[in-house]
Structure formats: C-alpha cells, structure tokens
Amino acid sequence: MPPMNGLFQACCDFLQFAADACGCTYEEMSVFVNLYLQGGILWLLGVAAAVAGWRLFRRAKGRSAVLARVGLLDGAVSTILFAWLLLHYRGGAAAAFDRCVDDLLRLASALGVTYRELNILIFVLGFLCVLVLQIALLAALRRRGSVPPARTEESP
C-alpha cells in the first residue's frame, strides 16, 4: 500500500475509533475534527496573533511594525476563512460531510491527485504546516512584544 493510502487509512481508523468512543458516527467525528476543530485551532491562533500584533503595533517601528502587521493580517485572514468554513459547511454533520467530500473530489480532479492524497495534503500536512507557521508567528510577536522599547535620553 502506498504511504499516502496507509496514512489515509490510519486517519480513517482513528476517526472511526474516536467516533465509536464518543458514541457518534464517522461522518460526525470527521466533520468535527477535520473542519471545526482544526479550523477553530487555526482561527484561535490567528486571533492570538492579531492581539499580539496590535499590542506590538502600538509602539513598534521598523521590522517590529512589519511583524505586527503580519500578525494583524493573520488574524483577519484566519477570521474570514473560519467564517467562510462555518457558513459553507453549515446544515448538520451529514450535509457538511457530503459537501466536503464533493468539494474534495472536485478539487482532487482539478489538481490531478486522488481524493485520499488530497485529504492527507490538506488535513494532515497542510494543517500541520499552517499550525507550525502560526505558532512561530505568535512566538515571534510575543518575543518582540516583550522587549521594552528603547529608551531615549530626555533633554533637560
């Protein structure tokens, strides 16, 4: 079995195990984890980056101001994307699952990859990459924001 297929099957098995443990269907667990939980985590990190960016922006100059703007932009983009996700996949877990599968099948066909490969690229590799980038941005914002501004000598 190719590695992507094995990884896809492992993810499906985990979702089925979690669904059984929680007393829900595979579709409900898949929608909860892949759409709402992952999307919510990235949205919250984006909001945290925007807050840290705003705090830094109020007193920043030079590179710190650019970093602050990136944090603000991350928060705005994260909020817009999560709002779109919530609106696009509304209507219950079954409807959200079916719509997501249809979207992924169309996108996979357009990109020339399989449905399984696209699932792994988006919900595993894509999520992890964006997660790491957002954590790194938040860490940089907090590190830069915790440095007190340079003191200037006051004239008498």
Q: Is residue 8 part of a domain?
A: no
Is residue 155, in this structure, part of any structural domain at all?
A: no
User: Distance between CA 33 and CA 18 in Å, rounded?
Assistant: 10
The whole domain housing 95 covers 16-144
153 token code pair: 């000598």
The verdict on residue 150 lying in a domain is no
Q: How far apart are CA 59 and CA 149, in angstroms?
A: 8
> Is residue 153 included in any domain, yes or no?
no
Judged against a pLDDT cut of 60, whether residue 152 lies above it is answered with no
**Per the structure, how many domains does the chain have?**
1
Q: Looking at the domain assignment, is residue 9 inside a domain? A: no
Residue 2 lies in a domain: no
- pLDDT for residue 153: 57
Per-residue pLDDT at 48 exceeds 80: yes
What is the per-residue pLDDT for 38?
A: 97
60: tokens are 């920043």
pLDDT category, 87, cuts 50, 70, 90? very high
DSSP string, 57-112: HTT--THHHHHHHHHHHHHHHHHHHHHHHHHHT-S-HHHHHHHHHHHHHHHHHHHT
| Token pair recorded at residue 92 | 């219950």
- pLDDT at position 2: 74
Cα 29 from Cα 11, distance rounded (Å): 11
pLDDT higher than threshold 90 for residue 5: no
pLDDT of residue 98: 96
pLDDT digits over 93-130, tens only? 999 999 999 999 999 999 999 999 999 999 999 999 99
